[in-house]
Amino acid sequence: MGYMARHGTARARPAELVPGTASVITARLDYWPEAARDAVDALSRPDLGYVSRYATGRDYHKVMRSRLQALADRITREIGEFPHRVFTDSAPVMEVALAARAGIGWRGKHTLLLTREAGSTFFLGEIYTGLALAPDAPAQAHCGTCTKCLAACPTGAIVAPYELDARLCISYLTIEHKGPIPESLRPLVGNRIYG
């Protein structure tokens, strides 16, 4: 996860990442398939390997990127050429903070963006642009005193509200971690093999 430190303040300052950025258009794309088997049922079956639902469809980087580029193309047809760059988990973008500021949802105590209708089962993407656009109002947070996400985290990676220890996160352990999963975490990871 050293890539986060390598990009320093550019992560929090869009114009440092893409010079000339005046606004960020942010969007979400839901991924939970309606016909998907219940996750709780699949996770309770040690004879099955569980792959996170977001990884069971087409590569979301390509899907989201093409949809955001189609939006940029539509804007170009309406107003003419404009400076922009599309991102979908492809650069050191603070996408949750941007989406929260844009009113798409609020940061949950599990550190992800949260909405009432989709939980946190969606992808985020951005168009950094030189257009000076009027900002949307941020969404109001609705977590209140709820701590269900902290209690539900199998490995205890959500160590406090709004604080995640990525070294304990199943997504990190099954995708980015180099080497074997520590033995003490294996029973907690269960049959999750990706994501």
pLDDT tens digits for 19-33? 999 999 999 999 887
The tokens describing 113, both together, are 């963006």
Residue 130 DSSP symbol: S
pLDDT, position 6: 66
Average pLDDT of 98-102? Answer: 96
Model confidence band, residue 5 (pLDDT cutoffs 50, 70, 90): low
Average pLDDT of 90-112? Answer: 94
pLDDT at 107 over 80: yes
- Identify whether 47 is a catalytic site residue: no
Residue 155's contacts (CB-CB under 8 Å, 6 or more residues apart) are: 168, 169, 170, 173, 185, 188, 189
Model confidence band, residue 73 (pLDDT cutoffs 50, 70, 90): very high
Half-sphere exposure of 127 (CA within 13 A, CB side): 24
Catalytic residue, from 30, 89, 136, 165: name it. 89
Cα angle 104, 106, 111; round to 5: 125
pLDDT, position 3: 53
